[in-house]
Amino acid sequence: MFSTFHKAGLQTRHLVKFVGVSRITASRWLNDHGIEPHPQLIGKVSRFLNLVKQAYDAGELPFPPNIAKSDENNYLTGLFRKYLKNQKESSGDLR
């Protein structure tokens, strides 16, 4: 479930920030402790991982070398906004 996440160079802190789970929960998911996301979170996790995959497939992840750790969340937010906007435009939803 998290293979592209790892290939994209993301870390536990990114999952914590964008999915809104505790560091311990994110670590358990990422380190394959046999724990899957709760059914109420699976949609949010899947959407996040889909955005990560899009950015990875487009070559925008892993992070460019000039991105400081302190700017990684802003960089990801910008990428995710772009991909979400593209999804809305391609579906005809321009709200």
> pLDDT, tens digit, for every residue of 16-45?
999 999 999 999 999 988 888 999 999 999
- Percentage of the chain exceeding pLDDT 70: 96
Cα–Cα distance list, 31 to 6, 42, 72, 82 (Å)? 10, 17, 21, 29
CA distance linking residue 5 with residue 93, whole number of Å = 28
Q: If pLDDT is split at 50, 70 and 90, which confidence band does 88 have?
A: confident
- Residue 94: pLDDT over 60: no
Q: Are 4 and 52 in contact (CB under 8 A)?
A: yes
| Helix (DSSP H) and strand (DSSP E) numbers for the chain | 5, 0
> Is the whole model's pTM more than 0.75, yes or no?
yes
Count of structural domains within the chain: 1
Domain limits at 15?
3-91
